[in-house]
Amino acid sequence: MIALYVLGRWFFAWQQARREGDSHPVRAAFAEEDDPDAVNASPTGGFRSYRQFFGFVASTVVVTLVVTLADGRVRFLLLWFLVPLLVVALSYVDFRQTREARSKAR
């Protein structure tokens, strides 16, 4: 799942670089890194925003509900569909949060 998260972040960075007309969008996607000065203590713990925190909590609740309420093949199919979807959604929320922080810093 970590690999899927990283691939999602790279994809969103690549897509943004293409949209902005970067001559090397792949290079821009791989060069995207979080600013180490932007990481501050926050009331949400290690999360930089309430969106990230609530996205993580909601994802946990959804997976827990599927595990407890579904059985057999239905559980298997739902988890194979929902977990990657939730991981990519969280990577998108993180990508947007980073992009907004960079635009405010400029």
Tens-digit pLDDT profile for residues 4-50: 988 898 899 889 888 888 888 888 777 765 444 444 444 445 677 78
Instruction: Note whether residue 39 is domain-resident.
Output: no
Sign of the four-CA dihedral 97, 61, 86, 83: positive
Instruction: Note whether residue 80 is domain-resident.
Output: yes
Whether 82 contacts 66, CB under 8 Å: yes
- The 10 Å Cβ neighbour count of residue 106 is 4
Distance CA 20, CA 31 (A): 15
- Mean predicted lDDT score pLDDT of the chain: 82
Instruction: Note whether residue 62 is domain-resident.
Output: yes
Instruction: Note whether residue 92 is domain-resident.
Output: yes
Question: What pLDDT does residue 32 have?
Answer: 67
Question: What pLDDT does residue 34 have?
Answer: 46
Contacts of 54 (CB under 8 A, 6+ apart): none
Instruction: Note whether residue 40 is domain-resident.
Output: no
What domain range includes position 77?
2-34+48-105
| Number of domains composing the chain | 1
Distance CA 39, CA 98 (A): 10
Instruction: Note whether residue 97 is domain-resident.
Output: yes
State yes or no: pLDDT of 104 exceeds 90: no
